[in-house]
Each structure stands twice: as C-alpha cells, then as structure tokens.
Amino acid sequence: MAKFEVLLAGATGYIGGTIVSTLSQSENGLIKNSNFTLLIRGADKARVFNDKGFQTVLFDSLEDTKNVENIASKYDSLSRNGNTLTSGTSNLGDQPITKAYEETRTFVDTTPDLYSYLQQRNALTPYAQRTADIAVISTGLALNVKTYIIMPPTIYGTGTGDFNRITIQAPAIIRSALRTGQVMQLGDDKAVAEHVHVEDLAELYIAVANKVIKDGMQGFPSGERGIYFAGTGRHTWGEFTRGIVQALRELNAIKTDEIKKVGLTEAAEMWTGGNELYCELNFGASWRTQADASRKLGWQPQKTEEDFEKHFLDTARLVMESQK
C-alpha cells in the first residue's frame, strides 16, 4: 500500500509546531506509515525539520498561490493545518462591549446550520477569520474538494515546536502589564469564553489525520458541515485576568493586585494593533461550544482545569524571559 502523502503549512508556528512535534512522537500505525512534508519559509528553518526526519518544501509566501497550488497538487491532503484549516470560535462570539451583537446559545459541532450562521454573521459584520472560513468552504464545495475546519477557542499552554511556543491572549495582556505595572481587563467579569491546551488541540489534528488516512473521514461531514470544535473548559475574562495578576505578583513583576478596566480603543491599541473588532471578539466576548463531533472522532483531551490555572505562571515566565 502506497504511503499517504500529507502537506502541512505552519510548522514554525505555535499550533503547527506543536502538531509537528506530536506527529513525530505518534505511535499510531497509520500516522507512522504516512509521509508528512512541511511547507517552510527559509532554508535554515527547513534544516531543523530535515534533521528530525521530515521532508520540507521551501516557499516564499502563501500569497504566491500558483506556486502553492503546484506544490499542493502532489499530495493527498493539505493541512493548514485540506484540506484542514485552523480557525477559531471568536467567529461565534458576541460583542458585549459595543453591543453590536448578542449571542447566548451553545453551539454544537454536529449542528447543520453553522455555515449559514457564519454567513449571516459576516453579512452583518465582516470579520477576516470568518471571511476566510466561508471562502474555504464555498471554494471546496464549488471544486468538489473536502474541507474540514477546526475551530478552537482560547488556546493556552507552552507549545512543543521548535520556534514559536507561545499563544496570543495571555502574553499580550502580560506584556502590557509589564510595561504599565498593572494588569488591564476589557469589559466586565460576566463574559464566558472557553479554552483548550495546545497539546490537546494537536491531538485533535492527529485524530482528524488518522481518520482521513484510514477511510477519508467516512461517516464524518466535510464542507458546510465540516466544522469541528475543540473546547475543553470555560472561564470568565475576569478569572483569566486574575490568573495573570496572581502569576505576575508571584514573580514580583507588578506591585498591585488591582485590575484596571479599560475601554475597547485602549485595549485594542495595547493588544491587537488597534483592531477593535478583533480585540472585542478575542479578549472580551462570550462563546460557548460543544465538541461532540470532535469527540466522536476519538479525540480524548487530557489536560485539566488545574493545567489551565497553572499555565498563567508558565506563560508569564516565558514572556518575561523573552524580554531579557
């Protein structure tokens, strides 16, 4: 039987690097008997992966679509992580700061109307990530190409890749606290978001890859119904912020326990380069999901709420170390 050929992009990133690390340690027979080639920018980075036994293909940019299409045409599956794309549940978030959208439902990834919901939300408020997801799904449908979108919530924990090992939200808040001497929070304590450890998320990609290689995801939907959630726990943004305060106080990095509440414009300037919509959806929104389809794939996340609580200290140390 010929080996299954898989092309992965994003191997130097936080999620992609952890996926590659997890792949290299997998004892799964189907995974071990497949060829994973990594799409890499830069010969120096490619050599790091070559030394670990991975094949690599150099490219300049994903914007060079003709070159990427030519490369991808040689593989059975493209993972970015296609036919599999990483997205995020901020697509589903409410907008409690601007009051532009209210959402209270819990979304289940076996629900058939998620794609139409994304379209409706994007018609009201275009959001780059949602726009990309809709384009991927609609293009896949038009070309008869199966697509799968993995939609994780807030990702936490130290990545296990060789390059970027740090996430987004907590480090951004930590950096601003180190600059100002005080932790800041957008909105109130009521917004409820979800989280997943990056290693658990990587295992979901392994579960998808295993099923794709085994039988082409037989019995699991693709396209407009091929959206898979990855939440394993919930937190309020108040709990999230207090976790950062506790970590920075333990490291003697700040001198006050007091949290400063800030408005959207100020928060966006500090954390998201001025992008207020991205800031509201990723640092102050509520989203609630249920990963039924992901678990039916055999995904079994291992991290606990204790791991979530501990990650603030680990992340604070990493951020402070990177600033030395």
Amino acid code (one letter) for 86: T
Q: What is the pLDDT of residues 160-213, one digit of tens each?
A: 999 999 999 999 999 999 999 999 999 988 899 999 999 999 999 999 999 988
User: Do residues 198 and 152 lie in contact, with contact meaning Cβ atoms separated by under 8 Å?
Assistant: no
- Per-residue pLDDT, 190: 87
User: The tokens of 142 are what?
Assistant: 């038009």
CA-to-CA dists, residue 323 to 174, 185, 203, 314, angstroms: 11, 22, 31, 15
Q: What is the pLDDT of residues 244-257, one digit of tens each?
A: 999 999 999 999 99
Predicted confidence at residue 189, as pLDDT, reads: 87
Tokens of 279: 């800031």
User: What value, to the nearest 5°, has the Cα angle with vertex 310 and ends 23 and 314?
Assistant: 70
**What type of residue sits at position 119?**
Q
Residue 12 reports pLDDT greater than 50: yes
What pLDDT is stored for residue 78 in this prediction?
52
pLDDT of residue 81: 40
Whether residue 242 has pLDDT greater than 70? yes
Q: Kindly state the tokens that stand for 136.
A: 């991927």
Radius of gyration for the chain, computed over Cα atoms and rounded to the nearest angstrom:
20
pLDDT digits (tens, 9 = 90+) for 275-315: 999 999 999 999 999 999 999 999 999 999 999 999 999 99
pLDDT at res. 182: 98
Q: List pLDDT tens digits, range 65-106.
A: 788 778 877 776 654 445 888 999 999 999 999 999 999 999
Q: What is the pLDDT of residue 80?
A: 42
Gap between the Cα atoms of 238 and 189, Å rounded: 4
CB atoms within 10 A of CB 255: 10
Backbone torsions φ then ψ of 226, nearest 5 degrees: -95, 50
The residue type of 216 is G
Q: Is 278 helix (H, G, I), strand (E, B) or coil?
A: helix
Beta bridge partners of 101: 95
30-44, 71-85, 147-161: lowest mean pLDDT where?
Answer: 71-85
CB atoms within 10 A of CB 129: 18
Q: What pLDDT, on a 0 to 100 scale, did the predictor assign at position 5?
A: 85
Q: Distance (Å, rounded) from C-alpha 196 to C-alpha 216?
A: 26
Q: Give dist(CA 195, CA 153) in Å, integer.
A: 5
> What is the DSSP code (8-state) at residue 110?
T
Kindly state the tokens that stand for 324: 């030395």
Report in angstroms the alpha-carbon separations of 80 from 71, 74, 154, 233, 282. Answer: 14, 15, 18, 25, 21
State the pairing for strand pair 77-80/5-9: parallel
pTM of the model: 0.94
Q: Exposed, middle or buried, 3 (CB in 10 Å: 0-12/13-18/19+)?
A: exposed
